[in-house]
Amino acid sequence: MTETSIVSYAEMAVKIRAHCLRMTHRGRSGHVGSMLSMADILAVLYTGILSVDPFNPGWEDRDRFILSKGHGGAAVYAALAERGFFPREWLDTYYLDNGKLSGHISHHVPGVEFSTGSLGHGLPVAVGMAIAARHAGAGHRVICLVSDGDCNEGSTWEAVMMAAQHGLDNLTVIVDYNRVQALGKMEDVIEMEPFAGKLKDFGWAVREINGHDYAEIESNLLELPFEQGRPSWVLARTVKGKGVSWMEGTVACHYGAVSDEQLIQALKELGVEA
């Protein structure tokens, strides 16, 4: 990893976070904590890992990225706009009537593969895409970013079993493992630990990383697949609301909107002009 790439990941992550704060503030919408949580992972994916073409979003050989935690879609919109998939001005219409960008992620937006919202839908679709790619003899990869809340859904585990049985080493799951969900902390809702152990028992190749450490994210994703003949699972430990001090680790930042004063303060913490 070069110093240049660390700088570009950090810059991208700040842009994603600032966009998300402004978008949710303007739209008076929630889920900003979920967006901030995965901003560093998205920054590395869209700057250094995913093989995608902003000038040809439907390019056949592109990597397929699915955001299963569709409520955090604004963060992917921000990354796509920064990569040039559509004008940055579209971000100003997020969550507004007749706007270009809906609250939950939509495949009508250039660069988005699949619309999600209800948890537990992303991975089953990703498994289908990975099987289709194999049947077609295609070389592209399928990467699915899920929340820990996604992993409480039965449909996710059906997909986990199917991917392992069929040895889908063209499939990767990244868990935004912030341990906070819509209505509570994981230990109070459904505890997944020992999380890595469960996935290993299900036949996946598993690695645990710090989801805010660019070098760790990059080096692991560059080594995909972790094992030939097995799907890869990245347990990325993250902090809900990462980057804004009063949001970090709180349940409140899942639904809570950002006030005028909070926006100014949050941007200041990011080192961005309000």
Instruction: Please state, in angstroms and rounded to a whole number, the distance separating the CA atoms of residues 71 and 6.
Output: 28
**Do residues 236 and 195 lie in contact, with contact meaning Cβ atoms separated by under 8 Å?**
no
The distance of closest approach from Cβ of residue 31 to Mg ion in the complex, given in angstroms and rounded to an integer, is: 11
Cβ proximity to Mg ion: between 148 and 218 the closer is 148
Stretches 10-18, 85-93, 95-103, 172-180: which one binds Mg ion (CB under 5 A)?
Answer: 172-180
**b/e per residue 126-146 (b: at least 16 CB within 10 A):** bbebbbebeeeeeebbbbbbb
Question: ω before 231 within 30° of 0 (cis)?
Answer: no
Cβ proximity to Mg ion: between 64 and 242 the closer is 242
Cβ proximity to Mg ion: between 170 and 178 the closer is 178
The distance of closest approach from Cβ of residue 29 to Mg ion in the complex, given in angstroms and rounded to an integer, is: 18
The distance of closest approach from Cβ of residue 182 to Mg ion in the complex, given in angstroms and rounded to an integer, is: 8
The distance of closest approach from Cβ of residue 57 to Mg ion in the complex, given in angstroms and rounded to an integer, is: 28
Binding to Mg ion in span 130-159, by CB under 5 A = 147-148
Q: Which residue is it, tokens 């036949």?
A: 203
Stretches 55-63, 84-92, 176-184, 260-268: which one binds Mg ion (CB under 5 A)?
Answer: 176-184
The distance of closest approach from Cβ of residue 153 to Mg ion in the complex, given in angstroms and rounded to an integer, is: 13
Burial class of 2 by CB neighbour count within 10 A (0 to 12, 13 to 18, 19+): exposed
Cβ proximity to Mg ion: between 115 and 178 the closer is 178
Instruction: Please state, in angstroms and rounded to a whole number, the distance separating the CA atoms of residues 200 and 203.
Output: 5
N-terminal to C-terminal alpha carbon distance within the chain: 32
Cα angle 139-109-101, degrees, rounded to a multiple of 5: 145
Stretches 107-115, 162-170, 175-183, 201-209: which one binds Mg ion (CB under 5 A)?
Answer: 175-183
Contact between 178 and Mg ion by CB under 5 A: the answer reads yes
Total length of the chain: 274
Cβ proximity to Mg ion: between 47 and 178 the closer is 178
Stretches 73-81, 96-104, 126-134, 178-186: which one binds Mg ion (CB under 5 A)?
Answer: 178-186
Tokens standing for residue 153? 């859904």
Cβ proximity to Mg ion: between 82 and 148 the closer is 148
Site string for Mg ion, 93-132 (x = CB under 5 A): ----------------------------------------
User: Looking at 28-170, which runs of residues are DSSP E strands?
Assistant: 64-67, 142-147
Interface residues with Mg ion (CB under 5 A) are: 147-148, 178
